[in-house]
Amino acid sequence: MAVIMGNELKSAIKSKKMLLILNPKAGMMHANKHLADIIKIFVEANFIPTVLTTTSKGDALRFASECSEGKDIVVCIGGDGTLNEAVAGILHSGNKTLVGYIPSGSTNDFANSIGVSKNILTAAQDITNGRVIDLDVGKFNGRYFSYVASFGAFTGTSYEVPQNIKNILGHTAYVLQGIREIPNIKSQYLKITTPERVIEGNFIFGAICNSTSVGGILSFEEFDINMNDGKVEVFLIRKPDNIIELNSMLVAIIDNSFNSPLITFFSTASAKIEASRGMPWTLDGEYEPGTDEINISIVHSGISIMVPEIDMRNRQTVRRPLVK
């Protein structure tokens, strides 16, 4: 019986090609000083990385679209917006390339939802020895989003909080900004048509999401969220008419019960949204101009992504039925 060990084993295994996309300005820029260690982890796992660094918006999309062909995996180092571009680029290219994510943004909702470590080197290591899962990807009038399309309160938080404040306070910056917005937010009239129901009225916040948290503020971790069921979750908050309704709604958000008549939460496979053209949205935390008709659809199992072998996020999570 032949025994292969050490360097012999490494040379016997075919090297894997990796496209490594780095956003050097994400979050507090911790990833930059760890880049050499990240590359070392991948090389020791028999990957051959090609490193491309973004300098402006759209670079990650272009890199993933033009350079993912022939690669075994595309690894994105950055925030949720950078990952959004990388995922969109892969889907635009038509390549079913495996995705790896090393979160280095300020909030990292998507990473939290799938159990990816906040520790940069641990996340890199998990890409080399984790497991593959398939995830749905949303479409907003043809533009892809990895985990959320949202409007209203909290929506502006991700791009209105100055980057230096986000870098210093991280999650706290989003919470403070989001709560501050609620009492003064202007409501928007929407009509949302889904196969299950038609909803219309004045809303101060709405999210079409495929995640367990949004904006660093809303957490859905205690609910039965399936991120690969061909559906998205619709979360809506109606305009409160008085201070009592406002306080009740805030308590329901803070304690994550969402037990308020002002809050609607359900799942759907598609939606048509009629809204004001001037109403701004965000897709995965990035600004998206409004339009008077928005069609939401889902690419089922749109991406395959590496996650830790043991899902630490779900180990001690108590699940409850989805609010209807």
Report the C-alpha gap between 107 and 190 in whole angstroms. 28
Task: Look at strands 148-152 and 198-209 and give their pairing.
Answer: antiparallel
- pLDDT at position 29 is 64
Report the C-alpha gap between 213 and 208 in whole angstroms. 12
**Digit-coded pLDDT (tens) for 231-265:** 999 999 998 888 888 788 878 877 777 888 999 98
Residue type, 161: V
Checking if the pLDDT of 40 tops 90, the result is yes
The CATH code for residues 144-298 is 2.60.200.40
- Single pTM value for the model: 0.81
pLDDT, average across residues 3-11: 43
Q: Does domain 13-129 have CATH number 3.30.460.80?
A: no
Same fold, 13-129 and 144-298: no
Checking if the pLDDT of 215 tops 70, the result is no
Residue positions counted in the chain: 324
**Digit-coded pLDDT (tens) for 79-93:** 888 999 999 999 999
- pLDDT band (50, 70, 90) for residue 172: very low
- pLDDT band (50, 70, 90) for residue 111: confident
- pLDDT band (50, 70, 90) for residue 69: very high
Domain ranges of the chain: 13-129, 144-298
Residue 202: partners with Cβ closer than 8 Å, 6 or more residues away:
187, 188, 189, 238, 239
Report the C-alpha gap between 66 and 30 in whole angstroms. 27
